[in-house]
Structure 1
Amino acid sequence: MRTTRGTGRTLLVAALLAAPAAFGAGGHHAVDDATILPPGECEQEDWFTRNQGGERQLHAGFNCRAGPVELGLAGDHAHGGGGSSTAWNAEVKWARELAPGLALGVDLQPVWVAHRHPRHAMTRAVGIVTWNAAREVALHLNVGREFVRAGRDLACYGVAVDWSPRERLTFTGERFAEERTQFVRAGARWDAGRWKVDFSRAQRLAGPSPSSWTIGFTLAFGEE
């Protein structure tokens, strides 16, 4: 079935909202972790997603620590089904440790879509909790809302677990909801220090959005 340009934009916004900005979720995963970059550090995040309907999305993002918060900018280009679209999002993320192994965070992400008036499509606000239950295991909880400019606001939430059986290898499992669709995701990340590679499969359980595969690359730079 062919996808119209308007439908392509809708799919792109859904993908952007799935993307939030180490030991935790983050990256292309839907469930974020309550950590921010260290002072003086920046990070580039890129990933490529292909969903079951054949649509493809390329993401490029850049985040830096600025005082008590992490700031980010990202662009996404989606193509498939006879249409393509481009969107951008900004990010402001704050997090702090409340007790040893327990951290709380807040993430705000406004989204703009190109060639559309008004360009501002929505803003996502999410509260984040991370609990390092053991040296190899971390649990994450996200609860928030998507404030849609021209439509009904939507709840967004999810839980995730990270397991690191080896120093540089982490496996991630997620259960989350976005764009009226329920998903589970399984993935793995290889951490080589300044760069990381991750791969995952998001499987639709119920709802209109399709399942997808994603491969990502992260590069950190700044103060050692």
Structure 2
Amino acid sequence: MGVLENRRIAFAMAASHCNMDRALRAMAQVVAAGAEVIPVLSHSLKTTATRFGKPEDWIEQARAISGREPLTTIPEVEPFGPRREVDCTVVCPCTGNTLARIANAINDSPVCMAVKATLRNGRPVVLAITSNDILGLNAKNLGILLAARGVYFVPFGQDNPVTKPTSVDARIEEYLVPTIAAALEGHQLQPLLLGPPPISP
């Protein structure tokens, strides 16, 4: 029996296109842990092709992993609130842009709507942050959300402190599922702050 057995998880993906392969593997981990996953994709992921992939590929992979049609509009996600449809919302990857919107209560995307609807019901939100400005202009938004009730973080650290000193990356592969399990019990997985990867000589 998986640690997330019988849990319904909204898996919301913000537009960190370069991290989509990681995010989809993480979604598969959540499914393997026993959860029912509802994929939520940002507008950019639905509409923008980049060198990292095409929208139709992201949608098809999310559908295949979860067994559900991804939600891609605010009206599709809004019922999470009144119908209390999810036990937890995960934002993976959570970009700096999305972090800022959540911290400032800006509700203009399917991802942010999923977060708002979940917090409205007193249920946990888990953020897997990955952005090159988290310790720059976005640091104040990180501070707001670290102190916010109901918001939990996948443990994170600087991914390249020498050449990208303001960049932060959640350790999604190792810690996403344990973070969700802890959040559902009302506590933050520790340690939260991790050291950077070893620097090659």
Pair in the same fold by TM > 0.5: no
TM-score by length of 1: 0.31
Larger Rg over CA atoms? 1
Name the structure where helix makes up a greater proportion of residues: 2
